[in-house]
Chain A
Amino acid sequence: MWDYTDKVKDHFLHPRNVGEIENPDGVGEVGSMACGDALKLMFKLDHQGRITDVKFKTFGCASAIASASALTEMLKGKTIQEAEKITNRDIAEYLGGLPDQKMHCSVLGREALEAAIENYRTGGTAKHKLEGRVVCKCFGVTENEIERVIRENNLHTVEEVTNYTKAGGGCGSCRDDIAAIIGRVRQEMAAEEATATGAAKKMTNIQKIKLIEETIEKEIRPALRMDGGDIELIDVDGNRVIVAFRGMCAGCPVSAFTMKDVVEARLRQFVSEDLIVEELR
């Protein structure tokens, strides 16, 4: 018997947003009956570019149904830019966690979302297809997908990769291959971390401010502008970065979210892990 959280049980017994939408803006279909779970996700945008309606149909176990239902609830009211930041971990966390062996259900949700967004961006033409070398032939899992779950979920073992993607869970002949991919990705991750912290240490104050300005310009402002908002750098005091929201972002109910998950996350990623971003009130 699986140890499901009350939230998983609730979404399984009372799934939200089941069905199909007429003339959707984006449709994503992933998985297959042979693999044991499949998900079809579709959404419609309002005139401001926010997801106003989202529906799903799924073939799968309780946690697959719950993951899909949870994802639709998370997507409502989000812009495409916000939606595409949702990771499989966000879905699992929304449900109060999933059993280890069921994490692949959350990955299926994220894959369906990605496919639906891709379909939307190509004007309803693109169908989801596998990218990169197929590692697991039983379940059709590619090297790209395996690398992605390792990075997003900080995975270390073949068993974890199997829990998250099913790769290696069939005939098992690709398990050595998966172990090699884990080795390579973990090495890359360690190297990236070393460069990131090393670069931050060597920066002078002026270099740091310049890099913050560049990051805001290239990585943050374009995303905010798509929603009619903007951002201004006010001051940099040691590791404290003071900014002000402008336009639609000023007074936006989700600006606190944008602050933490977009501005601070990007600055930490591109400048320094130690930065703390604050909003000028």
Chain B
Amino acid sequence: MKVVYLDNNATTQIAPEVNEAMRPFLETLWGNPSSMHTFGGQVKKYIDRAREQVAELIGAHPDEIIFTSCGSESNNTAIKGYLAATDEPGHIITSCVEHPAVLSVCRHLHQHGWELTELRVDGRGQIDLDELRSSISEKTAMVTTMWANNETGVIFPIDRIAQIVKSSGKIFHTDAVQAVGKLPVDVGKVPVDMLTLSGHKLHAPKGIGALYVRRGTPLTPLIHGGHQERGKRAGTENVPYIVGLGVACDLARRHMQKEISELSRLRDKLEQGILSSCPDVRVNGDRKHRLPNTLNVSFEFVEGEAILLLLNELGICASSGSACTSGSLEPSHVIRAMGIPFTAAHGSIRFSLSRYNTEQDIDYTLQRLPGIIKRLREISPYISNP
């Protein structure tokens, strides 16, 4: 069946170039980079190269990059690894729309005595910088907020957040899993102390991530053991995937400007097409500060899972913030935090594009989607004349 994949904030296709680059390390170059013999030791230079490629994408020094197994591990390492150095529980600040890979970590620490502030967001999904300023106190140990939101694509004013945090002398971590590869991210310009990125969101495989740690930032490892990653993360290196992540970052850097304009053009076409063909639709999130690939829309009076499954019948892959798809019984915490009414929250759908989407993908979706919405509204008790 034809597949139109519009769920790239969930995961992305492995780029063919990445696949090619990884192959030798699964077939012939399978040695251990820590070995004294040439067969193993020769692999080390490829890890070094990948570290440079990752560093280059975000404007870091290679020695500031730690390879991890995923974005969640990077977030856990950053938050727990920094706070482990402090003697007694203090105060953490985050936002209420974080991915669970940050929010659950903070709430776990909260249960173990840490004070926690979850900054609220407005209807556009933006935090209030004054609330951030007034939340920082002497007890505050660190602030962690995302760079861009996975559900709505809303981009936080990360440079201003970083400046506020740094001017008060606190540590700032950002989960930039959705931003890296989609937006220019430069730690040379934005004073973040730590930054999380994930391979499978930018066309590398699942199972590889990285944490940027600015020189001089104290960090206790989450995983103790061998000397790998300069003692910051033990475990024999996942060489093929590290090489793959390097190549994926290189591709993202070289094609970024072209991709940003092409993706936002397709995304805007999808958005305009939906708004003009379906009544009672709203776009969720700050449209002025949004990832170029992401569109989150709410279809009033219909439920998200039903929309997704009907799209699925046509081979169109998207995701929803509805309760029924989240595994919980309430709609997405991000959508609720923005104060979106229940009538629309349950019918929220996220479309997220990548470089592999085509004009035809968007045309096909726009042809089929209005019929699906109409069909479900005919069943809905909340509309008498759909």
Contact = CB atoms under 8 A, between A and B. Distances in A.
A170 interface: yes
Given A33-B342, A59-B302, A61-B303, A139 B309 contact: no
A268 to B, nearest CB: 36
A12 B306 contact: yes
A168 B368 CA distance: 38
Contacts of A65: 306, 379
A7 to B, nearest CB: 15
B216 interface: no
B342 A61 contact: no
A225 B302 CA distance: 44
Interface stretch (A34-42, A117-125, A149-157, A211-219): A34-42
A62 B305 contact: yes
Interface in B39-81: none
Interface string B346-386: 10000000000000000000000000000000111110000
Contacts of B304: 61
A258 interface: no
A61 B329 contact: no
Contacts of A106: none
Given A36-B322, A61-B303, A170 B381 contact: no
A61 B324 contact: yes
Interface residues of A, number: 29
B246 interface: no
Nearest to B304: A61
B380 A58 contact: yes
Interface string A1-30: 010000000001101001000000000010
Interface residues of B, number: 26
Contacts of B346: 33, 36, 59
The interface centre, meaning the residue of A58, A61, A139 with most chain B CB atoms within 10 A of its CB, is A61
Contact of B324 (A33, A36, A139): A36
A60 B304 CA distance: 8
A97 interface: no
B111 interface: no
A39 B309 contact: no
Given A18-B378, A59-B380, A36 B303 contact: yes
Contact of B328 (A34, A57, A169): A169
A65 B310 CA distance: 12
Q: Is the interface of A mostly helix, strand, loop or mixed?
A: mixed
B303 A37 contact: yes
Interface in B293-339: 301-306, 309-310, 313, 322-325, 327-331
A29 B379 contact: no
Interface string A54-81: 0001111110110000000000000000
B236 interface: no
A101 interface: yes
A36 B324 CA distance: 8
B52 to A, nearest CB: 39
The interface centre, meaning the residue of B301, B323, B327 with most chain A CB atoms within 10 A of its CB, is B323
Given A36-B331, A57-B380, A61-B325, 7 more contacts: A33-B301, A33-B382, A36-B329, A57-B381, A62-B306, A62-B324, A64-B303
19 contacts: A33-B382, A34-B342, A36-B303, A36-B324, A36-B330, A57-B380, A57-B381, A58-B379, A58-B381, A59-B302, A59-B346, A59-B380, A59-B381, A59-B382, A61-B325, A62-B306, A62-B324, A65-B306, A170-B329
